[in-house]
């Protein structure tokens, strides 16, 4: 029989304690490294742009703000767009397009060097902040630099990138970074469709645009509550029967103090501040309510399309939210078409493809709006199935003096029919255009030739009388 002395017991207790401590330390180390790895992963998602491997917009804002606070130098903040990027994407494919974006990122590094920071925001849109000494010299150097950028397409081919740039010379380092970026953005948006490299500098003449935007931002929520947003509908006409087979809902802001405000003025702002998602759901709800009322009165009902901002595609509850609205009014999904502009698909992810497929499975029609205006029209059709393709008005305008434009429309119509999609042509204003589109095989038209957008109640009367 073994007997333990007091000293043995103490030794055993020490060993157990040591073992527990070792176990605890190893668990702690494993946990610590795992956490560190996860934090790094999270940081990557939050702060790194997957295409260039550099900063994304979030990180840029953080670093740029710190830079301005810690430094007393003079800074310029700018944004750069590649004007001809969509041709590169369409002609050489998305993979090559991504490589061009990464190359462009390196070129911006050459401009900024160690004197600031830079990032890709989205698609072909970059931003930077850089120290400068003399405005004229800085603009001269930047202009020379931007007009000589080439990107490698493959081992042998290069393509010249045509860029535009909006600049804001920082006056007060304590100004909010978002305000400074807004100013650079206004400067770039004010560049006309020039085909060459161009730099536009923000100055006070743009201040009224900022003031107007601020006024709209302050009043938008109350305006929605007070029913200042009105739904207009523009009829869509079947080209074979010449009957109204649907309509597109278009929002208007009729403010008692500011008057009639067209969507072109407030939609881009709402896209930026996110309020557009509420407007879109409001419009959808008004349309559902109206369809439900007409169905209960046994009146003729047509499918109405509603414009949907690309911001919805980042919301995992988007499809559920839409379903909730149509269930609330108990209307079949077939009466609703969701229009998403081509620019909603700048990045095509599995999540986005999933959303479109889910909507279509639920019975909604999904259309691709402004087809041909974005930078990657054909790639989108390759990856996502739609029900309707809406040809951008610019193609139609171009047909007036150009047979090639008519041939392009014809090819788009044939291709859409090949993949079982209907074609709507927008902005039809003349009889000649109607005749041409009939000849080219277009299915549906929409435009002032038949009817302008009208208040919802007027559209109902129009439907009843046609």
Give yes or no for a contact between 236 and 248, defined as CB atoms under 8 angstroms apart: yes
Given 251, 288, 352, 444, the residue binding ligand C2E (CB under 6 A) = 251
Q: Which helix (H) or strand (E) element contains residue 159?
A: strand 158-160
Gyration radius from the chain CA atoms: 28
Given 127, 342, 369, 421, the residue binding ligand C2E (CB under 6 A) = 369
Give yes or no for a contact between 307 and 263, defined as CB atoms under 8 angstroms apart: no
CA 39 to chain CA centroid, nearest Å: 28
Given 101, 167, 279, 313, the residue binding ligand C2E (CB under 6 A) = 279
From start to end of 224-271, where are the E strands? 229-238, 244-255, 259-261
If binding is defined by CB under 5 A, does position 182 make contact with Ca ion?
no
If binding is defined by CB under 6 A, does position 447 make contact with ligand C2E?
yes
Closer of 56 and 308 to Ca ion (Cβ): 308
Q: How far is 264 from 277, CA to CA, in rounded Å?
A: 16
Closer of 182 and 339 to Ca ion (Cβ): 339
If binding is defined by CB under 6 A, does position 448 make contact with ligand C2E?
yes
If binding is defined by CB under 6 A, does position 234 make contact with ligand C2E?
yes
If binding is defined by CB under 6 A, does position 368 make contact with ligand C2E?
no
If binding is defined by CB under 5 A, does position 370 make contact with Ca ion?
yes
Closer of 49 and 369 to Ca ion (Cβ): 369
Distances (CA, A) of 456 to 62, 81, 366, 392, 463: 46, 39, 22, 24, 10
Q: Which does 153 bind (CB under 5 to 8 A by kind): Ca ion, ligand C2E, none?
A: none
Cβ 262 to ligand C2E shortest distance, Å: 5
Furthest C-alpha separation in the chain: 113
**Two tokens, residue 244:** 């109204």
Backbone φ/ψ region at 101: left (φ over 0), alpha (ψ -120 to 50), beta: alpha
CA 236 to chain CA centroid, nearest Å: 26
Closer of 184 and 396 to ligand C2E (Cβ): 396
If binding is defined by CB under 6 A, does position 250 make contact with ligand C2E?
yes
Given 339, 342, 421, 443, the residue binding Ca ion (CB under 5 A) = 339
Place of tokens 């609330």: 328
Distances (CA, A) of 264 to 188, 194, 338, 376: 17, 21, 19, 23
Scanning 53-61, 346-354, 377-385, 424-432 for contacts with ligand C2E by CB under 6 A, the matching segment is 424-432
Closer of 197 and 307 to ligand C2E (Cβ): 307
Q: How far is 136 from 441, CA to CA, in rounded Å?
A: 55
Given 127, 182, 369, 421, the residue binding Ca ion (CB under 5 A) = 369
Given 84, 175, 190, 263, the residue binding ligand C2E (CB under 6 A) = 263
If binding is defined by CB under 6 A, does position 260 make contact with ligand C2E?
no
Length of the chain as a residue count: 466
Closer of 49 and 339 to Ca ion (Cβ): 339
Given 52, 234, 307, 308, the residue binding Ca ion (CB under 5 A) = 307
**Two tokens, residue 71:** 């430094």
If binding is defined by CB under 6 A, does position 453 make contact with ligand C2E?
yes
Which single residue brings its beta carbon nearest to ligand C2E?
A: 447
**Two tokens, residue 142:** 């930047």
CA atoms within 13 A on the CB side of 461: 6
Given 191, 325, 358, 427, the residue binding ligand C2E (CB under 6 A) = 427
Cβ partners under 8 Å of residue 384, min gap 6: 345, 348, 352, 353, 356, 368
Closer of 62 and 265 to ligand C2E (Cβ): 265
Scanning 22-30, 368-376, 394-402, 440-448 for contacts with Ca ion by CB under 5 A, the matching segment is 368-376
CA 417 to chain CA centroid, nearest Å: 27
Distances (CA, A) of 302 to 307, 453, 463: 16, 16, 9
Given 76, 129, 237, 276, the residue binding ligand C2E (CB under 6 A) = 276
What is the contact mask toward ligand C2E in residues 301 to 320, using x (rule: CB under 6 A)?
------xxx-----------
Place of tokens 């645009």: 209
Closer of 307 and 377 to ligand C2E (Cβ): 307
If binding is defined by CB under 5 A, does position 280 make contact with Ca ion?
no
User: Applying CB under 6 A, which residues contact ligand C2E?
Assistant: 234, 250-251, 262-264, 267, 276, 279-280, 283, 307-309, 369-370, 426-429, 446-448, 453
User: Applying CB under 5 A, which residues contact Ca ion?
Assistant: 307, 339, 369-370
């Amino acid at each position: 029989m073994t007997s333990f002395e007091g000293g043995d017991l103490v030794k055993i207790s020490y060993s157990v304690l040591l073992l527990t401590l070792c176990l605890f330390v190893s668990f702690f180390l494993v946990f610590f490294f795992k956490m560190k790895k996860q934090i790094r992963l999270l940081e990557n998602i939050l702060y790194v742009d997957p295409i260039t491997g550099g900063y994304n917009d979030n990180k840029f804002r953080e670093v740029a703000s710190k830079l301005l606070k810690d430094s007393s130098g003079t800074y310029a903040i700018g944004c750069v767009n590649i004007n001809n990027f969509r041709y590169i994407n369409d002609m050489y494919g998305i993979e090559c397009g991504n490589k061009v974006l990464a190359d462009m990122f390196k070129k911006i590094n050459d401009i900024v060097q160690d004197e600031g920071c830079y990032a890709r925001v989205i698609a072909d849109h970059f931003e930077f902040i850089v120290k400068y000494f003399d405005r004229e010299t800085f603009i001269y150097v930047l202009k020379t630099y931007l007009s000589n950028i080439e990107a490698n397409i493959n081992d042998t081919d290069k393509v010249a990138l045509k860029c535009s740039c909006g600049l804001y010379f920082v006056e007060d380092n304590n100004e909010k970074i978002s305000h400074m970026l807004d100013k650079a953005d206004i400067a770039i948006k004010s560049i006309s469709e020039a085909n060459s490299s161009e730099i536009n500098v923000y100055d006070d003449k743009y201040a009224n645009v900022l003031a107007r935007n601020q006024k709209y931002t302050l009043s938008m929520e109350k305006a929605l509550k007070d029913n200042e947003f009105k739904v207009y509908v523009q009829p869509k006409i079947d080209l074979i029967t010449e009957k109204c087979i649907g309509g597109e809902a278009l929002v208007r802001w009729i403010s008692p103090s500011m008057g009639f405000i067209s969507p072109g003025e407030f939609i881009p702002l709402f896209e930026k501040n996110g309020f557009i998602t509420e407007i879109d759901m409001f419009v959808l709800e008004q349309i559902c309510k109206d369809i439900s009322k007409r169905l209960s009165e046994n009146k003729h009902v047509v499918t109405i399309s509603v414009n949907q901002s690309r911001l919805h595609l980042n919301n995992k509850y988007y499809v559920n939210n839409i379903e909730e609205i149509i269930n609330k009014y108990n209307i079949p999904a077939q009466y609703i078409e969701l229009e998403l502009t081509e620019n909603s698909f700048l990045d095509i992810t599995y999540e986005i493809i999933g959303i479109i497929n889910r909507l279509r499975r639920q019975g909604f029609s999904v259309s691709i709006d402004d087809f041909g205006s974005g930078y990657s029209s054909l790639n989108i059709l390759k990856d996502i199935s739609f029900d309707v393709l809406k040809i951008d008005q610019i193609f139609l305008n171009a047909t007036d003096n150009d047979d090639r434009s008519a041939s392009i429309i014809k090819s788009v119509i044939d291709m859409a029919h090949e993949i079982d999609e209907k074609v709507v042509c927008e902005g039809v204003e003349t009889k000649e255009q109607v005749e041409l589109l009939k000849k080219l095989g277009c299915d549906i038209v929409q435009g002032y030739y038949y009817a302008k957008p009208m208040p919802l109640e007027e559209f109902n009367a129009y439907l009843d009388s046609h």
